[in-house]
Structure 1
Amino acid sequence: MSLYNNPRILLIDSYDSFTYNLAALCRKSISNCTVYIIKNNQLDWNELRPKLRYFSAVIVGPGPGSPLVERDIGITRHIWHLEDSAVLPVFGVCLGLQSLAVEYGAALKRLEVVKHGQISRIQHEGVEIFKGLDEINAVRYHSLHVKLQPDGEVEALAWANDDDDENGRVVMGVKHKVRPFWAVQYHPESVMTGAGGLEVLSNFWRLAKHWLINHERTIQPWDLDADKTFRFGWPQPRPSTCKHYLAIGRVQTITLPLPGAILPSICEMLGVQDEQSPFVLLDSAAQPGRFSIIGCLHASTPTITYFLGDTFVSVKQGKRTSHIDLGPHDIWSWLATFMRERKAEGGRKDLPFWGGLIGYLSYELGVDSLDIALSDRQEQGRHPHANLVFVDRSIIVDAAAGNVFIQSLLPDDSTWMTSTARMLKCWRRTNVNPSAEPSISPIEVNLPDKKLYISRINQAKQYLRSGDSYELCLTAQTKVKVQKSPTSSIGRSSSWTLYKSLRRNNPAPHAAYLRLHPSTLVCSSPERFLSFSRPPGSVYQLRPIKGTLQKGPEITRTVAERALRGSTKEVAENLMIVDLIRHDLHGVVGDNVDVPQFCVVEEYETVWQLVSVIEGATLSSEVDEGELGWEALKRSMPPGSMTGAPKKRSVEILQTLEDNERSIYSGVCGYWCVSGAGDWSIVIRSCFKYDDTFETGSTSNPSSTEEWTIGAGGAITDLSDPQGEWDEMVLKLQSTLRAFNIKTQ
């Protein structure tokens, strides 16, 4: 391998949530390079040091915490003190710059005004890594900075001039006077950093090559020892299990023109009011949603549940439950295998769903995928962490075209399909409206404690100022107790009544009604999390929302643009999540990730939202794109907009600030289609209940009440006003409480 034409770059990751963005930037800036990524504590220094000979240069990435804390910096600090014979070019980013500077005598200081997700003008003298560049704008994520010694071994190359009442002049770029070490404080890999990213890294490689030639440094050929230690370069090749599998099923479809179809009344005709029976509905209850999906469940429909820590998956069909050993699988790969055996073809290309898995995946299931130990604070009668049903009969309602589609994956299912079509035609002729039911009256409401919540906001801000996180999505729970409807009365389902009330008061494009005992979820989410289109040529899209403004007579688009796009805080929150999501998606599809929309104000039924769009695609023909979408879901959970960044450290901090597991709230709900497509939304503006009465069949001393849990919260940044954050949390809470006829003060 040629030193100049095919360089090897070692990227040291300090558990950051932007690492793959930096790897992608390296591959774009340094032609034909191969990037190898290791964690900063993955190898002992004595093991890594002799293996640096395999590499042309090192990138020391960003990360949470301080360069003075062993847990945060790991082996990075040793890089700067290599003996002369082992020195190689190094480029540091953020924590990497701070580490370089403090190892050579700089003082580490806290910023007076934290800069998280904010864009600053970077001034420089046009030399070294800034050669040929004009003034640049770059994104900053830091609460710590360095003050260099006047005559020290590290000198400044660039600065940001914050206002005098903020931080004054802050070092943004440095170099070592003798050794081939350069670094920047800002984040070159951020989507909103322009020339300060690509061109600066290109300049680094130009300087690095020059140093390598002048010092006649040789690169050790790659061998089995290197392969064993570092394995694959990034992006890693896909495993052989992700090859294409032929579809073995066939989708049958009947199309009915039913303009003006009323979705709730169709659901009631299908038996949704029978609280004892499972029911699933994914409802596009407001623009820009279009298609609603009703699962037509029957006695043989398999329901799949999984609890973290179990070594088996439970599959229930009718009254029979089987416990299937996971064996070598985790729940994610087990479900991928399950769906691999149920692929189907022949459905209408214009419909999003032909059949497949529908249900929810909890927040804690995502936490587990980060290798974070769950706290021991778990509710009695906890909800399954995965609760999914395989839908082989479905009805799709197209609100835009006024058509209804009846679908089945079962062979020779024409009898059910024609009888369902006949039933729907009769409904159309009689023009039945959904039943009018009494509203639900709460018996008891326990709101979050305001004083405690505000104290947690202040604690969160301390973590932000210490450099442990850039943003923390703090949440709290409200409990609402209501009178339970008599189980003998099919005509009265309290959860369905609640859903219709929520749908009426807070219509949303990603609403859901999932009654999968022992859990029932009533959801009116505005936010799509991840969708992946039908292969071939799948596109993986995430649409984070950060920034919301309630609509009103005087809130025009112009006013909304000024309030949302014009807000430093709102744009910073959105930008942080965009950069985090880019990293998550890069980790699955490799280089091919783009941001076609950044911080655009979109109009919804009741609010204006600040929405960005991140898209990725794989260019390889050797992967199963449906399974890749499933892997993207696993890698992206828990949703970054519900945690903060860097994700792993932020989740760990949130476990100390929140008193309960979040459970279904801030997890995801949606579908994985037998065609390979999928669509998952974030569970917000929602409530859920636990009731094992129908699961266990117990009728002794049944409770006359049921308790619903509502989660709500907001992204805490250093710009957050505690009272304002409390008000925002209550506003979000109110959108669900209205369904119970509850108004907060």
Structure 2
Amino acid sequence: MAIETPRLLLVDSYDSFTFNLASLCKQSIPNCIIYIIKNDAFTISELLPFLPFFSAIVVGPGPGSPEKDEDIGLIKDLWNLAEHSLLPIFGVCLGLQSLGVAYGAELRRLDVVKHGQISHIQHTGGELFHGVGMVEAVRYHSLHVVLVKGGDVEELAWADDGAENGRVVMAAGHRSKPFWAVQYHPESVCTRGGGMEVIQNFWRLAQRWARKTARQIVPWNTSVANTIGRPWLSSPPPSSPLSTPSESRPAVTTQVLEMPSMDAATVSELFGVSDEESPFVMLDSSAQPGRFSIIGSLMQTSLQITYFVGDDFLTLRRGRHDIQENLGRRDVWTGHPDTPFWGGLIGVLSYELGVESLDVTLTDGNRKRQHPDLNLIFVERSVVIDSLTGHVFIQSLIPDDPWISDTVSILTKPASPKLAPVVRLPDRCRYIACIHEAKERIFAGDSYELCLTARTSITLPKVSATGGSTSWRRYQTLRCKNPAPYSAYIRLHPTTLLSSSPERFLSTSRPPHPVFHLRPIKGTVRKAPGITRAVAEAALIGSPKEVAENLMIVDLIRHDLHAVVGEDVQVKQFCGVEEYETVWQLVSVIEGRLEPGTHAASDPDSQLGLANAQKQLAACMTGAPKKRSVEILQTLEEHERSIYSGVFGYWCVGGGSDWSVTIRSCFKFEDRSDTVPCPTETWDLGAGGAITALSDAEAEWDEMIVKLKSTLPAFGVSCT
């Protein structure tokens, strides 16, 4: 008799694809309920009393080695359950390796690591592969097992890697116990034939074993729920809705002008961007496919919110005065439907804010606590320029605000005429040594990809020869030399950020049915004579390294979105070559839609959504598996990343948001408490690249220098 509502226990080894696997199980096993625990959350003796409540266990993938207790936790004990405690178990990647090692298999390193690569899988056609035809599967592993001939665990599928690795076990099953596992990743977006079909076969085998042994599932009760926790995708406790009826929502005052020639830089100068002492924010789409530019018209009373990692408080400031203010739930506003931003929070979130959310210990020696890890300002007055339609939206959250008409008058007036750095590059030898160390950690099975970065500093005179804001002049140069779809000029003391980022991180449409949209970029070819679309496609799509990097980030993002929105996650574009102002890029597009009745990080609930900032940012850190990769990078990187590789953007009062990755950017710290002004200023630039098993150290150094060259022109310098 089939189990109508199966309960699955998924053991997570701190992997970054766990929720993809959970989603695949939900699709493959009708009506199943999935509970997720970490592999070190319980000892086996603590977990044993709860196993009778579950229909099966899924042992997920993860970093590290099955021979290290700290990497697999209680998993090693699951394969040795006593007869009366047995239940069906399905393992993936680390799960297969741990099953093999538990029954005498030899653990070895692959000679040629397989991370984000697709292999043809041959199989016996039985058990897990009953009725399954051709299998093309994605592999993420550095280690593999050689099974004992004639032992308790038998091979069910394999890959023939030829001269690289020879024959590699890809699936196995125990001869008498209900244990099965695969080495490849069935949940990857590019696995074909060995995904849902194999999970369905596992469930068929699990039910057959349960009938044969007359195993009974114990009914669920409150004490189990209190210990194991809530199931994945369960509805949250009742709370206020994401949005309220339109008639009860405050409205944004808006006036729309037809001004196809209006430029964000021109509006910024009208709003006082040249006054270096005052805060200023501009999110600038200066190149395709960017469309909307947002300029904030800040007031002396504009609310600035800052936070440093490690503190247990936020700092609220209006002007130069710290204040106390309730940041409870704010109303969700309504405004003109053709503009994505009506008003709300604009600013930057640091890389370390995401590190904190992963419970990774920060290297204190690298922390300067100069730039706040969260630095946002509440924008009540704004101008939004639509470069596609030529519309200019002048908006205010303040009722009957005369600023609207004043700004219309200013923008429609005839335009007025516009008015030896020291560069310290990263140490080349140290950076290359770190690349070799990163590759060693990858070969050891600790990571699939490590995004290694380094810092460049530029010190130069503060005073501009032409007068006015030096940082604004530098941004104008950067905007001219390297126009980008997700540019920004953000001056929120003590931080000033100049960005010409090509990459959107995450955008979220407005409630009540928000869509989460991500466009990760992995793979770049610079435009040059003779570099046609066909040449760029051959260089990018034809590169196993570039496609593998893109695939890894796509699977990583799918995992993150599944954790936030539930099952509805779609890859709308995989490895498409897109044309930009100066480059061709390999871009994928992932969308997730929020399940009805659930909440997510875009919810403008308590503290204007600030409690969810770390959840959003954590998905931005591109290493896989994420937590282990970030821990490794803490030991390799010499300086904190701070603003670099964090995100900047906005949360709108309407509930939507749009965040971009802080790359191709520079930023400076200004200590306004100094009684004697410093005649020089120092700007920091971050750059780096994704290190994989296929990386060449010299080429990675060259790639980092190429990335620096996109930002250095803002200072009138170059590097060789």
Q: What is the TM-score of this pair, normalised by structure 1?
A: 0.93
Instruction: Please point out which of 368, 384, 388 is paired with 1:396.
Output: 384
Q: Which amino acid aligns with 2:229?
A: R
1:628 Cα offset (Å): 7.8
Q: Compared with structure 1, are the counterparts of its residues 471 and 738 closer, same or farther at alpha carbon in structure 2 (3 Å cutoff)?
A: same
Instruction: Please point out which of 595, 615, 620 is paired with 2:591.
Output: 615
Which position in structure 2 is the counterpart of 1:4? 3
Supply the distance in 2 between the matched residues of 1:742 and 1:296 (Cα, whole angstroms): 32
**CA-to-partner distance for each residue in 1:352-403, whole Å, 9 max, x for gaps?**
1000000001111111111112110245451101000000000111222222
1:263-412, aligned counterparts within 5 Å?
263-322=264-323, 338=328, 340-345=329-334, 347-380=335-368, 382-412=370-400
Q: Contact 2:330 / 2:604 at 8 angstroms: preserved in 1?
A: no
1:176 aligns with 2:174: yes
Supply the distance in 2 between the matched residues of 1:707 and 1:178 (Cα, whole angstroms): 67
Q: Contact 1:278 / 1:516 at 8 angstroms: preserved in 2?
A: yes
1:325-724, aligned counterparts within 5 Å?
338=328, 340-345=329-334, 347-380=335-368, 382-413=370-401, 415-426=402-413, 429=414, 431-435=415-419, 441-442=420-421, 444-485=422-463, 491-621=467-597, 623=599, 626-627=602-603, 634-640=614-620, 642-693=621-672, 696=673, 698=674, 700-724=675-699
Supply the distance in 2 between the matched residues of 1:624 and 1:456 (Cα, whole angstroms): 37
Supply the distance in 2 between the matched residues of 1:380 and 1:132 (Cα, whole angstroms): 59
Q: Contact 2:282 / 2:488 at 8 angstroms: preserved in 1?
A: yes
Q: Contact 2:489 / 2:499 at 8 angstroms: preserved in 1?
A: yes
**DSSP-derived class of the 1:652 partner:** helix
Supply the distance in 1 between the matched residues of 2:8 and 2:619 (Cα, whole angstroms): 30
Q: Compared with structure 1, are the counterparts of its residues 593 and 707 closer, same or farther at alpha carbon in structure 2 (3 Å cutoff)?
A: same
Supply the distance in 1 between the matched residues of 2:575 and 2:511 (Cα, whole angstroms): 28
Q: Which amino acid aligns with 2:70?
A: R
Supply the distance in 2 between the matched residues of 1:307 and 1:43 (Cα, whole angstroms): 33
**DSSP-derived class of the 1:644 partner:** coil
Supply the distance in 1 between the matched residues of 2:594 and 2:385 (Cα, whole angstroms): 31
**CA-to-partner distance for each residue in 1:486-514, whole Å, 9 max, x for gaps?**
7xx99421111111111111111000100
**DSSP-derived class of the 1:21 partner:** helix
Q: Contact 2:93 / 2:184 at 8 angstroms: preserved in 1?
A: yes
Q: Compared with structure 1, are the counterparts of its residues 657 and 323 closer, same or farther at alpha carbon in structure 2 (3 Å cutoff)?
A: farther
Q: Compared with structure 1, are the counterparts of its residues 141 and 433 closer, same or farther at alpha carbon in structure 2 (3 Å cutoff)?
A: farther
**CA-to-partner distance for each residue in 1:554-596, whole Å, 9 max, x for gaps?**
1111011111111100000011111111111100111111111
Supply the distance in 1 between the matched residues of 2:192 and 2:642 (Cα, whole angstroms): 39
Deviation >6 Å, runs of 4+: none
Give the superposed CA RMSD. Answer: 1.7
Q: Which amino acid aligns with 1:152?
A: G
Supply the distance in 1 between the matched residues of 2:417 and 2:566 (Cα, whole angstroms): 50
Q: Which amino acid aligns with 1:217?
A: R
Q: Contact 2:604 / 2:653 at 8 angstroms: preserved in 1?
A: no
**CA-to-partner distance for each residue in 1:416-451, whole Å, 9 max, x for gaps?**
11111101111xx2x33542xxxxx41x11000111
1:217 aligns with 2:196: no
Indicate the larger mover: 490-499 or 270-279: 490-499
Q: Contact 2:242 / 2:603 at 8 angstroms: preserved in 1?
A: no
Q: What is the TM-score of this pair, normalised by structure 2?
A: 0.97
Which position in structure 2 is the counterpart of 1:77? 76
Give ranges in structure 2 of 5+ residues lacking alignment: none
Q: Compared with structure 1, are the counterparts of its residues 61 and 433 closer, same or farther at alpha carbon in structure 2 (3 Å cutoff)?
A: farther
Supply the distance in 2 between the matched residues of 1:139 and 1:632 (Cα, whole angstroms): 32
Q: Contact 2:565 / 2:600 at 8 angstroms: preserved in 1?
A: no
Which position in structure 1 is the counterpart of 2:232? 234
**CA-to-partner distance for each residue in 1:302-329, whole Å, 9 max, x for gaps?**
11111122222111112321256xxxxx
1:731 aligns with 2:706: yes
**DSSP-derived class of the 2:365 partner:** coil
1:637 Cα offset (Å): 2.3
Supply the distance in 1 between the matched residues of 2:469 and 2:52 (Cα, whole angstroms): 69
**DSSP-derived class of the 2:195 partner:** helix
1:225 Cα offset (Å): 2.0
**DSSP-derived class of the 1:163 partner:** coil
Identity across the alignment (%): 56
Supply the distance in 2 between the matched residues of 1:380 and 1:232 (Cα, whole angstroms): 39
Q: Contact 1:523 / 1:686 at 8 angstroms: preserved in 2?
A: yes
Supply the distance in 2 between the matched residues of 1:366 and 1:625 (Cα, whole angstroms): 14
Supply the distance in 2 between the matched residues of 1:628 and 1:35 (Cα, whole angstroms): 28
1:16-27, aligned counterparts within 5 Å?
16-27=15-26
Q: Contact 2:242 / 2:511 at 8 angstroms: preserved in 1?
A: no
Q: Contact 1:243 / 1:622 at 8 angstroms: preserved in 2?
A: no
